[in-house]
A and B are shown apart, each in its own frame.
Chain A
Amino acid sequence: DVQMTQSPSSLSASVGDRVTITCRASQTIATSLNWYQQIPGKAPKLLIYATSTLQSGVPSRFSGSGSGTDFTLTITNLQPEDFATYYCQQSYTTPTFGGGTTVEIK
C-alpha cells in the first residue's frame, strides 16, 4: 500500500490567516491526489481532485499543488467555516488516506 503522511497533525490559526497542509506519499503517485474536508460529525467532502482541480462549489481560497510524492493544500484568508479536519487521498493505486490535519481556532 502507498502510505500517506500528513503534517502537521493539527494547527491553530486565526480567521484571515493563510494555512498550508502537507501530504507526502511513500512512493510516487504522479498527480493522483485528492483533498477532503471533514467537519465533526459530518462526512468527508471532496475539495480538490487530481492535485489542483477545485470541486464545483468549493471557494477559490482553497488551492492544491504538488506532484510525485509531495503535495500541499493551501487555504488563504481562512474563514470560520474552514475550521475542520483535512484528509489527503491517493488514487494512484488501491486508494489510501492520510491521517488528517485538524485546523483549530487560535
Chain B
Amino acid sequence: QVQLQESGPGLVKPSETLSLTCTVSGGSISSYYWSWIRQSPGKGLEWIGYIYYSGSTDYNPSLRGRVTISIDTAKSQFSLKLNSVTAADTAVYYCARVKITSHQINWFDPWGQGALVTVSS
C-alpha cells in the first residue's frame, strides 16, 4: 500500500523559505492528486494546497502568494516551498494523497507521519 514520508529542515529562520519534500512509495505518484496539510496548536489543521501528477495546482487562498507545490514524477516526490515564514508557520507539516472529483477536494488518505518545522532565529 502507498506510503508517504516527509523530509526537510526542522528549523527555518524568520523571513526565509520553508522547503519540504514528500516521497511516495508502494504505489504510483501518477494519476493522483497530492496535498500538503499542516497542524499547529494555534490554528489546528490547515490545508495548504494540492498538486496533480500533471503539475496543475491549487492553493489555500490564505496562503496563496507564499506557497509553491511542485512534483517530480521520476523521483516519486512532490515538494512544498513556503516563503517569508514567521513564527506563525511553525507546525507539523503532513503530506497526503487527495481524493478529488469534479475538481473538488473530497478527502485525504493516506497521510505521511509528519515533519515538525520550527520557525525561529
CB distance from B61 to the nearest CB of A (A): 7
* Docked-complex contact A49 and B94, CB < 8 angstroms: no
Q: Which residues of chain B are within 8 angstroms of A36 by Cβ–Cβ distance?
A: 108
Majority secondary structure, A binding face: loop
Stretch at the interface among A10-18, A39-47, A61-69, A73-81: A39-47
Task: Report whether over half of chain B's contact residues are helix, strand or loop; otherwise say mixed.
Answer: strand
- B47 and A96 contact, CB distance less than 8 A: yes
Give the chain A neighbours of B110 by CB distance below 8 A.
Answer: 43, 45-46
CA gap between A87 and B61 in the complex, in Å: 22
What's the Cα separation between A32 and B104 when bound, in Å? 10
Contact of A91 among B44, B96, B107, B109 (CB under 8 A): B107
Q: Is B16 an interface residue (CB 8 A)?
A: no
Per the 8 Å Cβ criterion, residues 49-106 of A in contact with B are: 49-50, 55, 87, 89, 91, 94-100
- A–B complex contacts, Cβ < 8 Å, 20 sampled: A1-B62, A42-B113, A43-B94, A43-B111, A43-B113, A44-B108, A45-B110, A46-B108, A49-B106, A49-B107, A50-B106, A89-B107, A89-B108, A91-B104, A91-B107, A94-B60, A95-B47, A97-B47, A98-B44, A100-B44
